Every structure is written in C-alpha cells, then in structure tokens.
Chains A and B, each alone.
Chain A
Amino acid sequence: MIDGFSNTTLSISNLKVAVGPHSVVDGVDIDIRKGEIVALVGESGSGKSLTALSAMGLLSGRVGQSGGEIKLNGQTINPQDEVEMGRLRGTRLSMIFQEPVASLNPLLSVGEQVAESLVVHGRATKAQAMERAVQMLADVGIPEPEKRAKQFAWELSGGMCQRVMIASALIAEPDLLIADEPTTALDVTVQAQILDLMRRLRDKTGTSILIITHDMGVVASIADRVCVMYGGRVVEQAEVHQLFKAPKHPYTKLLLTTIPKLTDAPKQDLYSIKGMVPDIADFPEGCRFRTRCPLADKQCVKTPPLQPRKTFDDGLVACWHSELTETLQ
C-alpha cells in the first residue's frame, strides 16, 4: 500500500509471531493511516493481542517475533530494541488494556499516573505535568478532575479507571493508540461514553487508533476500516460499511450471520458456524478456515493469498472462492 508516505502511521507487513514451533501470527499485514480508526476483530486466540503487542515491542517469554517489518510514520522500528521502544512508548505509541484496574499502578495517585509519561520522558516538570494531567482528566470527561487526580485507582469505578487509562495513554499526544478490548469489561452505557470519547479525541488530535474487539456492534459504531483475523492471519480487510454490506470472506459472512440482532424474530434458532477453532497445533494446511467452511474444496488445501475484494473499495480478502460467499446463508 501507500507505505513509506507519512500518511501511514503504522504499517505492519508480513508479521510472524511464534510460540515454540507454531506460528500463532502467520504473515499479518495491517496499515493504519493518519487519523484513522482501524478495528481488529476475530475469534479468541486468533492473534489479535499478539499482533498489537508486537507493534508495541511488548512480546515476552516463549512468544517472539519471527518475521516481518513494522514501520512507524514510514520508518522501520525494531521492536526488540528495548531503548528505542521505551522511548517510543509513552511518546508516539500508547496502549490501553482490557483490565483498567489491573493495569493502573496502585501506588500512584490518578494524577501522577496520568502525568507519568511526561515526567519520565523529561517533557515537562512535575508541576507542569500535573497541571496537564488535570486538564487531560477533564478532557476525558471525569467530573471534579482536581479532586480525582488525588485519588487512587481502587477508589474509582471500572468506567472511571478506563478513562484514566485513556487519559494517561493520550497525554503525550501519541501518533498511535492501541486499545485492546477497551470496553469489554464495561457496561453498554459506559461503553458508549468511552467510544464517544475515543472518536472525539481522534477528531481533535488526529491520533490513529487500532481497536481490538470481538463485538461487531463496537466495530460498526467506531471503525473506519476493519481487519478480520482467523487463525493468526488477516482473512479480510475493508472499509467498515463495505465489510458489513458485502462481506467477501466466508468467515466474516458467517460471523455476521451468527450474532443475534435486535431485528431477528425472537426464539428462532440462530445460525451457527459448525465446529470450533482448532488448537494452534491442529490448524490444517492451506486455508485455516477450511475445517469449518461450507465452501471448502480441494483448492483450499493451498493457502489463499490476500487479494483485492473486487468491489469499489480498496479492501482485501484471502479466499479462493470469495465470489461465492454471498450465496452463503
């Protein structure tokens, strides 16, 4: 794609992540343009978090990047370089996690927490940073920010903690925010507030956002573009309206069919995808969806490449028979 130009904030190409002998992320390509919100969706274990952690240089233990290239604003970064990554995190890259309470430091006040990245990177004095932190808390919609800044994480509700996380991730005005299931632990009413907040921040600061979620409603609400992963690979990628209107990969299509909708007739059987995601060790050769795919045939023992979706958008799909997907019910 338009790699190398400064309007691509993050470009991940052919990323591979291995756990022991298994490729749990197997050649993933994702581009995120400036000011764009990209949603990464897929089944549990499909490699969404590992993809995000790779870009942040946060893989550890038995898990390691075994291939591929990651560029930030057109420049190759080395996720294994602790010093470089330490500098980028908290300045140009930020991440928020699913469990807000667990990822906040219990020993720091909320204000210190939010101010931390400015202080650590020497971008402001402690007093200036605290002042910015209070402003940031107000920006994310926390009432009485001066008072809240003096409190500790365990004194706040889950929704409030998640806003504190977002405030600390955004205070340095990063180029890219990665949000891994940022609303999964929250209620729909609070979730709606957080999604609104992320949208407003993008509009105001032009920050690019990669949001990981398994909720197609959240995707429909906030994403500009969507990457669908299955078995460690991107199987489809498209502009959000195009993806929902004309899913081209059988998995995407069936996933959209299977979720209960407010317009369905109640009590009717829901469509379900047969079988289950195989273990990493048991993925079939070729297309990894073929053990569950109603369109699978001989050709699918070879891995389908990501190709243009043949629609008017610039989306991509990895399926030998994507022209038949619309016939699936």
Chain B
Amino acid sequence: MRGDMDATDAPLLQVKNLKVHFPSGSKGLFSEQQLVKAVDGVSFMVHAGETLAIVGESGCGKSTTGNAILGLAPVTEGQVTFRGQDIARLSPDERSRMWRNLQVVFQDPVAALNPKLTIGNSIAEPLAINGVPRAKQLERIVELLDLVGLNPSQKDRFPNELSGGQRQRVVIARALALEPDVIICDEPVSALDVSIQSQILNLLMKLQRELGLAYLFISHDLSVVRHIADRVIVMYLGHIIEQGPAEVLFSNPRHPYTEALLSAIPLPDPVAERSKKRVLLEGDLPSPLNPPKGCPFVTRCPIREERCAEAKPQLVQDENNREVACFLR
C-alpha cells in the first residue's frame, strides 16, 4: 500500500501539528487554570486505501486525535485537511460533503445505535439526510446488510434483538452508507467477544479490498494492529514518539517505549511467553496535567540520560521511512 506509493501522492487526510488542550476540572488553589495537553503537536497523513493505526497507553490521546478530526474535540492549534481543504474553513455545503467521505465507528455498538429505530432505519438515516429517495434507500439497506454479512430480512429488528457483533456490523453498514473514503475506527472490536472479533476484523479487511477504503484504526490491542495495519503511530502523553511501516516497527522497534510496549504483549503460547525477553518499565505514568518538561517518556525510560529531562527530542526519519523521537535511538 504505502510502500508502492510515490511521495507526491496527495493524502486524503492530513493532520498538521494538532494540539488539543482541555481545561482541567479543578483550578489549583495557588495556580493558574491547569491544562490537560491531551494531544500536543501531532502530524500525520492518511492515504487512500491504507490502514494507519494509532496505538499507545490509555489516556495518551488516541481518541482525542480522532475526535478532533471529526470535529468532536476542540482544536487548540494546528490544522486538519481533507482532500487538501482545511476543514475549519469549509462552507456548510462543503462540510456536509466531507461528512459523506469521512465516517466513524466507535467502540460501543450499543451506544452508537438509537434503540428506538429498526436497524434498517438506522442505516437509512444518513441516506435520508442526504436526500436519497425512499425506494433507493431500501435498495441500499439490503445491499449494505448483505455487504456486512447480515441477513437483509433482519432489517426490521431493533438493536436489542441483536448480539454485540451483529450490532457492530450494523454500525459499520451505516458508516458505509454514503460510500466514504475514510473510516475512523476507535477500538472497533474491543467491546466484542474474542470469538466475534475476528469476524469484524475480516469484514473490515474485506471492505478495504473491495471498496478501497482507508482506515484510521485506533486500538490498544497490538496483536490486532500488527495484523491489519500498513503503518503505525505510537503515541505517548499526547506526542507521537515513533511512527512507520507496520512491519518495520513490529520487527525492529527503536523507541524505548515502543520496545517495552511490544515486549509486554502477552503471547498466547505459554512456552514462548515464559521464555521471552521483556523490557520491564519502572515508575508510573506521569500525569497529563503535569507532563515532564523534556522527553515525555523520561520518568519511565530505562536508558534515559540527564539531557532527556531538559529538552524534548524531535521526530527524526531513518532509512526505513520510520520516524523516532529519542536522543539515543
């Protein structure tokens, strides 16, 4: 995908130096209003037909990044462009056209569906909003249900009559209704049973092959990410600390955090799991309210030096198209 694409290929989605800072709930007694720097200067591109994954620990800013692109989190600084257009400057018309091309699938299929609508009507909603005539809507519902592996006769069921995996299929069908180019998937299989997860992952891969979709795939499950991603971004405390082609990152991580993260994935094989080498981290996550001044990883880094606490390392690209932010790697 990415490998055989030349650098001049215009990205579908481009994020430049994105910052999202939230005011924290409580104001300290002797201090200014504190800020949670949930996303603090993140840049990346998503190209047609590829899967770009964002991984990193809880609270590192993965969802906030996706939400900012979708206009669901306030952009403090930076720019998001879709097909070359700054989304902050779109006219209402252009904006609704953009929504057709950019869709989202969240973790919780229960919350994502209106319990009072049949699943057919849920899927038809975006079509109706975009003025598709009723007869055409019905045709499309049948097509979409079929595409995501549900029986079209189930269109009159309500969400509570479906299993979790079936509901997530409905959510995906709805996201596909307007033939988007990009789907932001925020933990799309985390709420599902292990035996159902693979069904949904297979579905996402099949839709990508058949429709040329691009995914921004947010997940904390590294085994899943390795399986479906073309490129991977590793975030830590609001920053990208390493990014590059999936096979490069997984076979040869360079940032000490990526290394620790990959070595901590529990392998479903007792012999391999019990004999593998692990990078154990000490120390705890720093608070996003009070992040370290220098390298965000400095409080837990096993190889830190004095200068790491003073200055922030920038992303530097290597010969494998990978970027790492670390003074020593």
CB distance from B193 to the nearest CB of A (A): 5
- Chain B residues within 8 Å of A261, by CB: 223, 267-269
- Chain A residues within 8 Å of B261, by CB: 188-189
* Contact between chains at A192 and B278 (CB < 8 Å): yes
Partner of B228, one of A157, A221, A266: A266
* Contact between chains at B57 and A189 (CB < 8 Å): yes
Among B163, B222, B227, B261: residue with most chain A CB under 10 A: B227
Question: Measured between alpha carbons, how far is A285 from B269 in the docked complex, in Å?
Answer: 33
Q: Within B218-235, which residues are at the interface with A (CB < 8 Å)?
A: 220, 222-224, 226-229
A88 within 8 A of B: no
A272 within 8 A of B: yes
* Contact between chains at A187 and B195 (CB < 8 Å): no
Partner of A266, one of B226, B269, B278: B226
A240 within 8 A of B: yes
* Contact between chains at A270 and B284 (CB < 8 Å): no
* Contact between chains at A259 and B165 (CB < 8 Å): no
As a 0/1 sequence over residues 252 to 294 of chain A, the CB contacts with chain B under 8 angstroms (1 = contact) are 0011101111101011011111001100000000000000000
Q: Within B157-215, which residues are at the interface with A (CB < 8 Å)?
A: 163-166, 193-199, 201-202, 205-206
- Chain A residues within 8 Å of B163, by CB: 276-277
A138 within 8 A of B: no
CB distance from A256 to the nearest CB of B (A): 7
* Contact between chains at B195 and A143 (CB < 8 Å): no
Partner of A277, one of B193, B201, B223: B193
CB distance from B56 to the nearest CB of A (A): 8
List the B residue with the shortest CB-CB distance to A274: B199
A20 within 8 A of B: no
- Chain A residues within 8 Å of B267, by CB: 217, 220-221, 261-262
Q: Within B128-158, which residues are at the interface with A (CB < 8 Å)?
A: none
CB distance from A137 to the nearest CB of B (A): 13
A232 within 8 A of B: no
As a 0/1 sequence over residues 218 to 260 of chain A, the CB contacts with chain B under 8 angstroms (1 = contact) are 1111000000000000000000110010000000001110111
A170 within 8 A of B: no
Partner of B202, one of A189, A221, A272: A272
Question: Measured between alpha carbons, how far is A221 from B274 in the docked complex, in Å?
Answer: 6
Question: Measured between alpha carbons, how far is A223 from B267 in the docked complex, in Å?
Answer: 13
* Given A157-B284, A191-B264, A272-B274 contact (CB < 8 Å): no
* Contact between chains at B266 and A158 (CB < 8 Å): no
* Given A218-B266, A262-B223, A276-B280 contact (CB < 8 Å): no
List the A residue with the shortest CB-CB distance to B206: A269
A19 within 8 A of B: no
Partner of A188, one of B198, B205, B222, B271: B222
List the B residue with the shortest CB-CB distance to A155: B287
A215 within 8 A of B: yes
Q: Within B248-284, which residues are at the interface with A (CB < 8 Å)?
A: 250, 260-261, 264-274, 278, 280-281, 283-284
- Chain A residues within 8 Å of B246, by CB: 266
Size of the chain B interface, CB-CB below 8 angstroms: 48
- Chain B residues within 8 Å of A244, by CB: 268-271
B58 within 8 A of A: yes
List the B residue with the shortest CB-CB distance to A277: B193
CB distance from A236 to the nearest CB of B (A): 15
B285 within 8 A of A: yes
* Given A260-B227, A276-B166, A188-B265 contact (CB < 8 Å): yes
Partner of B220, one of A187, A216, A272: A187
- Chain B residues within 8 Å of A264, by CB: 227
Question: Measured between alpha carbons, how far is A192 from B270 in the docked complex, in Å?
Answer: 15
Partner of A255, one of B166, B194, B205: B194
* Given A216-B268, A220-B266, A259-B223, A270-B201 contact (CB < 8 Å): yes
A214 within 8 A of B: yes
* Contact between chains at B270 and A188 (CB < 8 Å): no
* Contact between chains at A160 and B284 (CB < 8 Å): yes
CB distance from A64 to the nearest CB of B (A): 25
- Chain B residues within 8 Å of A193, by CB: 280-281
* Given A260-B201, A276-B166, A220-B268 contact (CB < 8 Å): yes
- Chain A residues within 8 Å of B273, by CB: 217, 220-221
B247 within 8 A of A: yes
Question: Measured between alpha carbons, how far is A261 from B268 in the docked complex, in Å?
Answer: 8
Question: Measured between alpha carbons, how far is A120 from B268 in the docked complex, in Å?
Answer: 41
Q: Within A37-67, which residues are at the interface with B (CB < 8 Å)?
A: 43-44
As a 0/1 sequence over residues 282 to 306 of chain B, the CB contacts with chain A under 8 angstroms (1 = contact) are 0111010000000000000000000
CB distance from A329 to the nearest CB of B (A): 14
A313 within 8 A of B: no
Question: Measured between alpha carbons, how far is A260 from B269 in the docked complex, in Å?
Answer: 12
* Contact between chains at A43 and B195 (CB < 8 Å): yes
Chain A to chain B contacts (Cβ below 8 Å), 25 pairs? A143-B283, A143-B284, A159-B284, A160-B284, A190-B285, A192-B280, A216-B194, A217-B223, A220-B269, A258-B198, A259-B198, A259-B268, A260-B201, A260-B223, A262-B267, A264-B227, A267-B227, A267-B228, A269-B202, A270-B202, A271-B198, A276-B165, A276-B193, A276-B196, A277-B163
Q: Contact residues of B with A, CB < 8 Å?
A: 57-58, 163-166, 193-199, 201-202, 205-206, 220, 222-224, 226-229, 246-247, 250, 260-261, 264-274, 278, 280-281, 283-285, 287
The 3 closest A-B pairs by CB, nearest first: A217-B266, A187-B57, A270-B198
